[in-house]
Structure 1
Amino acid sequence: MATTRLDRTQVVDTALRLLNELGLNGLTLRRIATELNVQAPALYWHFKNKQELLDEMATEMFRRMVGPPEGRPAVRDWREHLAQSCRGLRRGLLGYRDGAKVFSGTRFTGRDHAPYLEEHLQALVEAGFTPADAVQAYFTAYAFTIGFVIEEQAVYPEPGERDPRYDPVERAEGIGADFPLAAAAGTDLFSGYEERFEAGLRIVLAGIERTGLEAAPPGA
């Protein structure tokens, strides 16, 4: 085994590369160590367990998604602000096999996300949301996107390659004629993700406006 000193960046870069090859279930600290030509205990100098590694992987995914804040055009309309954020998040997560599963439930390391969160919340507050409602609005749009991509990547673990378990014809035959609507739903459930994401995003934004702004008391 090599004795070259590792750093966190090497480990995370290797883990993200292997994620695309193996998926989340196949990604282990032992496999990463083998790829780096070191003994597995060498990784524990940097990460106590797999969850700590996933936290750092998610943080690095976020950095790559958003890029440097300088030079990004300012978007003050809160609807477009949230919509662009959700589209960018989905696009970034789809760049990694099981990307949404890795991202979900992790804790960012450091403060890289703080300027972007501040920007999103500021746009909402300036539009008339209370700080609490701004947080709820942001989280709702964020959670919709994460959940949507988890389901999307379950059906298409590799871009353009649908998992055969989600074949709509076989699914319809398995459900049978007693439940015609449920049987036919597979055609829509397992295709057209781009259009369905945009449709769902419109629903989320309309709901946020209705419950966040329209429901706010006068002067709020």
Structure 2
Amino acid sequence: MTPTPDRTPPRVPPLSRTTVAEAALRLLNETGLEKLTLRAIASELDVKAPALYWHFKNKQELIDEMATEMYRRMARDAPESLSTLDPDPSAPALGWRDRVLVANRGLRHSLLAYRDGARVFSGSRFTGTDHAEHSEIQLRALLAAGFELDQAVRTLATTFSYTLGFVTEEQGVHPVPGERREGYDVTERGERLAEFPLSAAAGTHLFEEYDAHFEEGLQLILDGVSARYGVR
């Protein structure tokens, strides 16, 4: 006897702030932040747009949750060395400078995974307290290295702002890896600015080799931190 096929519809995850944010992040690479609408997200979730207003009063609240979900994913992927002060007692402790470098490299990598990723993060307010545990560990590590609390806060805030601003500019040229925005051809720019030779030559240092330039800028900040606060 031929068995009756199972016609039970596939299980749809319950609608929640997290499922809506996850759907929004899936659409972000297709639409970009400007064109990401609650209507498009509702269509992705196969619900009516008003259903989303039970969870988010407006688009900014949704963006806050998107940034929070991006942070959760970044934290899950972070190396163990950033999730504890001493992950391996037999290994040398990670110094403050390396901690800041690793954290900001991870932040940049996470932001670049999404079209307009830096714009989503910029000015957003994290929901919940997921970020506080990582912040606590980083601050404790810097205090143990000789920083005062205000110095540690300023160091982490400054490097975070640098990374966020750097990626915002980077994504203005490369919205996603492999895609280059029209008007940012360095050779054409050099020809257009030929009567300003230094400005023309600066194009390579502004719009090419982003990995190297990010690293150098971060090292410049950390050199300044070390010199100003007298922490080695």
- Does TM, normalized by the shorter one, top 0.5? yes
Match of 1:180 among 179, 197, 210: 197
Structure 1 partner of 2:223: 206
Map of 2:157 onto structure 1:
139
TM-score, reference length from structure 2: 0.85
Q: Does 1:123 align with 2:138?
A: no
**Equivalent runs, 1:1-220 vs 2, <5 Å:** 6-67=15-76, 72-73=80-81, 74=86, 75-177=93-195, 179-213=196-230
Give RMSD over aligned pairs. 1.6
Cα deviations by residue, 1:17-61 (Å, 9 ceiling, x for unpaired)? 000111111111121112222221111000010000000000000
**Secondary structure, aligned partner of 2:80:** coil
- SS at 2:125's partner residue? coil
Which has the higher mean CA deviation after the structures are superposed, 92-101 or 180-189? 180-189
Q: Tell me, which stretches of 5 or more residues in structure 2 are unaligned?
A: 1-11, 87-92
Partner of 1:25, secondary structure, is coil
Amino acid corresponding to residue 48 of structure 1 in structure 2? K
The residue matched to 2:32 in structure 1 has which SS? helix
Q: Runs (4+) of structure 1 moved beyond 4 Å?
A: none
Tell me the alpha carbon deviations over residues 180-211 of structure 1, each in whole angstroms, 9 at most, x when there is no partner.
11012112211101111111111011011111
In the alignment, residue 144 of structure 1 is paired with which amino acid? Answer: Y
Query: Unaligned stretches of 5+ in structure 1?
Result: 215-220
Q: Whose Rg is larger?
A: 2
Supply the distance in 2 between the matched residues of 1:19 and 1:166 (Cα, whole angstroms): 23
Q: Is the 8 A contact 1:7 1:46 kept in 2?
A: yes
**Partners of 1:30 and 1:82 in 2: CA distance:** 39
Name the aligned partner's letter for residue 22 of structure 1. Answer: T
Deviates more, 1:8-17 or 1:166-175: 166-175
Distance 2:26 2:218 in 1: 30
Does 32-41 or 152-161 show the bigger shift?
32-41
**SS of the residue aligned with 1:100?**
helix
SS at match of 1:27: coil
For residues 223 and 108 of structure 2, the distance between their equivalents in structure 1, rounded to whole angstroms, comes to 19
Distance in 2, matches of 1:10 and 1:116, equals 24
- Asked if the contact 1:137–1:212 (Cα under 8 Å) also holds between the matched residues in 2, the reply is no
SS in 2 for 1:24: coil
Whole-Å separation in 1 of the counterparts to 2:230 and 2:65 = 36
TM-fit CA distance, 1:173: 2.5
Shift of 1:68: 7.5
Give the equivalent residue in structure 2 for 1:218. none
In the superposition, the TM-score normalised over structure 1's length comes to: 0.90
Query: Which residue of structure 1 aligns with residue 7 of structure 2?
Result: none
Contact kept? 1:133, 1:212, Cα under 8 Å: yes
User: How many residues get paired?
Assistant: 209
